[in-house]
A and B are shown apart, each in its own frame.
Chain A
Amino acid sequence: MASRDIVQYDTGLSRLLSVLAKVFLAAYVVWTILPFVIMIGSSMKDLLQAFTLPEVGDWAGTSALVHFTPTFKHYVALFTEESFGTYLSNSLLASVGSALLAVILGTSCAYSMSRYEFRGKKDLLFWIISTRMAPVVAVIVPLYAIFRNFGLVGTIPGLILAYTTFNLPFAIWMLKGFFDNVPYAVEEAAQCDGATRFQATLMILPLVAPGIGAFLVLCILFAWNDFLFATIIGSGAAKTLPAATKELVQPQNVQWGKIMAAGVVTTAPMMLLGLLIRRYLVAGLTMGAVKE
């Protein structure tokens, strides 16, 4: 790829804009990070301590926000009193399961959509993406009825199916772009080298791996953070973390400590995942966009 300079010359206005941009970015960072700081801090504080706020103007008192004796009792309580272990594994099963299913089905469908020409292909592609145009709320009631008839409500397979339904169209569209970018001649060459049609297809999978990886992560994120399906389809036996956290808000007692700890338990794995695969995620998401 050819590198190039983006030529810019300073003027008074551009300098002012650059300062303003920095101020805005600083404020934005505080705005984004602060909820996490409060969440993590409060999850490790005694309830009384968590609600202690300094008086207005008492700057010395702000040190109480960061200086405290950490306690892990909320976390312990989550896993002993509230069986968050089960919810965590439910979340993991539902998100990873649906992501894998969507990727397997999506990859094969995207491959055929990319390689084969058939009548009505464009219409089919549009129909596939159109299923994502309606908001989840609009279809949740009929979906619930269908799922109940099949005995899928309140089960992990039910959740996996629900998430797959919503991830699959996205998978097909995104992965089709990746396959389009791999010349078919590579597969033909593999066949001439002595590969079967199927082996030849497998040989090009490493070329779309960044796309598959990026999509896998997006699927997991979607399912992990989902609240609507989790409360309606998964309610009861297949409770995931967000649904379980909501139940800590009870009419007579809002269990702030546990809620904060649950927030950390829910957020941390995805943040870790994000950090680990950040490089690949960016590569995967931009690779399909630019043709060589």
Chain B
Amino acid sequence: MVALKIENVWKYYGDTVAVRDLNLECDDGEFVCMLGPSGCGKSSTMRMLAGLEHISSGDILLGDRRINDLAPKDRDIAMVFENYALYPHKTVAENIGNPLRLAKVAKHEIRKRVQEAADLLEIGHLLDRKPMELSGGQKQRVAIGRVIVRQPQIYLFDEPIAHLDAKLRARMRSELKHLQQHLGVTTVYVTHDQLEALSMADRIAVMHEGVLQQFGTPAEIYSNPVNAWVAGFVGEPAMNLIACSCAQEGNAVNLMHDGFKITLDDRLAKAALSSGERDLRLGVRPENVRLTADPDDGMIAGTVFSRQLLGSDMLVDVLSGGDHIRVRTDPKSPFEADEKCYVSFDFDHAHLFSAETGISIV
């Protein structure tokens, strides 16, 4: 069942287009992340869903109700804000209970439901405090409490954990995911952090410059990005995108680069030929690049530019023909800076993008 439907939605601020012809459908109970850099239109979309911004054109349907012209209070939505937006003069209990108070729920019922929500979020002992006396993580829990205390049709989260420290963020990711599954309410979650999107979402909507780039499961987005922009944005460390030119020599299809010339395998060669494009970008994730000290056939020579220990992995930056190739390798990797080395690509997991349009060829 479709819980939320965004149809041909545009948003203008003056002459600036913030959201361009957006179409999106969320299923009932689904956790959808809107992912993109700042200014990509994800927050505008969320604010249009909440009713905090007018929709320039298009329709938003919640269930089978068109909500374009409804005030936020009539939309049956609940939203968590990036800066928490708690009421500083109210206690935690009053903050959480506010939606129920406004809905004129009986006092004893409010108390019961606030307690339940607080217990679920492990802030039951803080109910009498004021927001000023809470830590960032606790404030964020209160903001979530204010949302889960009722059962709206949809939860909206606007970068709710962006201001927490890294450790707390990791914990909240798993807690939020668990909470959403437990409550089963359709959720739209806006973030600029691709790790948050990959780790939490059922489906991710990747946005860039107001345009929806790709809408799919985290695995699809990660393994089959539709264009070079998505490929470069999702994944950390980012995918290597190397500009090459494609040339056929006899039976072989080669990619030519200032630093190397490599022969494509059948899958990539077929796609490259049928696309008819000469200028391509080869996309390979750092974990699909192999680094060795001994040269072999079809290997690319380079020098180590820098190495970063990431804990469980080592990220080695190899310079070849003026381009940097990131390689994710063993943390015990012996390569030092300026050392000569060789890399090879795993073509099974490689992508080709049109250099002109950025669209994925394979």
Q: B83: which of A183, A192, A194 is its contact (CB, 8 Å)?
A: A183
Q: A189: which of B51, B79, B103 is its contact (CB, 8 Å)?
A: B79
Q: A145 interface residue, CB < 8 Å from B?
A: no
User: CB distance A189 to B71 under 8 Å?
Assistant: no
Please tell me which stretch of A97-105, A195-203, A231-239 contacts chain B, meaning at least 4 of its Cβ atoms lie within 8 angstroms of it: A195-203
How long is the Cα–Cα vector from A124 to B82 in the complex, in angstroms?
Answer: 33
User: CB distance B71 to A192 under 8 Å?
Assistant: no
How long is the Cα–Cα vector from A185 to B71 in the complex, in angstroms?
Answer: 16
Most chain A CB within 10 A, of B52, B78, B85, B156, is at B85
Q: Residues of A contacting B72 with CB < 8 Å?
A: 188, 191-192
How long is the Cα–Cα vector from A207 to B89 in the complex, in angstroms?
Answer: 7
User: CB distance A186 to B87 under 8 Å?
Assistant: yes
User: CB distance A194 to B103 under 8 Å?
Assistant: yes
Interface membership of chain A positions 168-198, coded 1 if the CB is closer than 8 angstroms to chain B and 0 otherwise: 0000000000000001011011111111110
User: CB distance A194 to B73 under 8 Å?
Assistant: yes
Q: Residues of B contacting A188 with CB < 8 Å?
A: 50, 52, 72, 79, 81, 85
Q: Residues of B contacting A192 with CB < 8 Å?
A: 50-52, 72-73, 77-79, 156
Q: A206 interface residue, CB < 8 Å from B?
A: yes
Most chain B CB within 10 A, of A193, A203, A206, A207, is at A193
Q: Residues of B contacting A191 with CB < 8 Å?
A: 51-52, 71-73
Q: Residues of A contacting B81 with CB < 8 Å?
A: 185, 188-189
Chain A contact surface mostly: helix
Q: How large is the interface on B (under 10, 10 to 19, 20 to 34, 35 or more residues)?
A: 20 to 34
User: CB distance A199 to B102 under 8 Å?
Assistant: yes
Q: How far is the CB of B13 from chain A (nearest CB, A)?
A: 11
User: CB distance A185 to B103 under 8 Å?
Assistant: no
B56-100 interface with A by 8 A CB criterion: 71-73, 77-79, 81-83, 85-89, 98-99
How long is the Cα–Cα vector from A188 to B87 in the complex, in angstroms?
Answer: 11
Q: B285 interface residue, CB < 8 Å from A?
A: no
User: CB distance B88 to A207 under 8 Å?
Assistant: yes
Q: How far is the CB of B90 from chain A (nearest CB, A)?
A: 9
* A204: nearest chain-B partner, CB-CB: B87
How long is the Cα–Cα vector from A193 to B82 in the complex, in angstroms?
Answer: 16
Q: B102: which of A183, A185, A193 is its contact (CB, 8 Å)?
A: A193
* B89: nearest chain-A partner, CB-CB: A206
Q: How far is the CB of B52 from chain A (nearest CB, A)?
A: 5
User: CB distance B83 to A185 under 8 Å?
Assistant: yes
How long is the Cα–Cα vector from A206 to B89 in the complex, in angstroms?
Answer: 7
Q: B192 interface residue, CB < 8 Å from A?
A: no
How long is the Cα–Cα vector from A194 to B89 in the complex, in angstroms?
Answer: 18
User: CB distance A189 to B85 under 8 Å?
Assistant: yes
Q: How far is the CB of B53 from chain A (nearest CB, A)?
A: 10
Most chain B CB within 10 A, of A194, A197, A207, is at A194
Q: Residues of A contacting B102 with CB < 8 Å?
A: 193-195, 199
* A184: nearest chain-B partner, CB-CB: B85
How long is the Cα–Cα vector from A190 to B50 in the complex, in angstroms?
Answer: 12
How long is the Cα–Cα vector from A192 to B50 in the complex, in angstroms?
Answer: 7
Q: B208 interface residue, CB < 8 Å from A?
A: no
Q: How far is the CB of B5 from chain A (nearest CB, A)?
A: 20
Interface membership of chain B positions 98-126, coded 1 if the CB is closer than 8 angstroms to chain A and 0 otherwise: 11001100000000000000000000000
Q: Residues of A contacting B73 with CB < 8 Å?
A: 191-196
Q: Residues of A contacting B79 with CB < 8 Å?
A: 188-189, 192
How long is the Cα–Cα vector from A199 to B87 in the complex, in angstroms?
Answer: 13
Q: B146 interface residue, CB < 8 Å from A?
A: yes
Q: Given contacts A190-B98, A191-B51, A193-B146, are A183 and B85 in contact (CB under 8 A)? A: yes
Q: How far is the CB of A100 from chain B (nearest CB, A)?
A: 22
Q: Residues of B contacting A199 with CB < 8 Å?
A: 102
Most chain A CB within 10 A, of B72, B78, B98, is at B72
How long is the Cα–Cα vector from A192 to B46 in the complex, in angstroms?
Answer: 12
User: CB distance B85 to A185 under 8 Å?
Assistant: yes
Q: Residues of A contacting B146 with CB < 8 Å?
A: 189, 193
User: CB distance B89 to A193 under 8 Å?
Assistant: no
How long is the Cα–Cα vector from A188 to B99 in the complex, in angstroms?
Answer: 13
User: CB distance B71 to A197 under 8 Å?
Assistant: yes
User: CB distance A193 to B99 under 8 Å?
Assistant: yes
* B52: nearest chain-A partner, CB-CB: A188
A130-146 interface with B by 8 A CB criterion: none
Q: B98: which of A183, A185, A193, A206 is its contact (CB, 8 Å)?
A: A193
How long is the Cα–Cα vector from A195 to B146 in the complex, in angstroms?
Answer: 13
A69-100 interface with B by 8 A CB criterion: none
Q: Residues of A contacting B86 with CB < 8 Å?
A: 186, 189
List 24 A-B pairs, Cβ < 8 Å. A185-B81, A185-B82, A186-B86, A186-B87, A188-B50, A189-B79, A189-B81, A189-B85, A190-B87, A191-B71, A192-B50, A192-B52, A192-B78, A193-B73, A193-B78, A193-B98, A193-B99, A194-B99, A194-B102, A195-B73, A195-B102, A197-B71, A203-B87, A207-B88
- Apart from A194-B103, A195-B73, A195-B102, 7 more pairs, CB < 8 Å: A185-B81, A185-B85, A186-B87, A192-B156, A193-B78, A196-B71, A207-B88
The 10 A-B pairs at the shortest CB distance, nearest first, are namely A189-B85, A185-B85, A194-B102, A193-B99, A191-B72, A192-B79, A194-B73, A206-B89, A185-B81, A186-B85
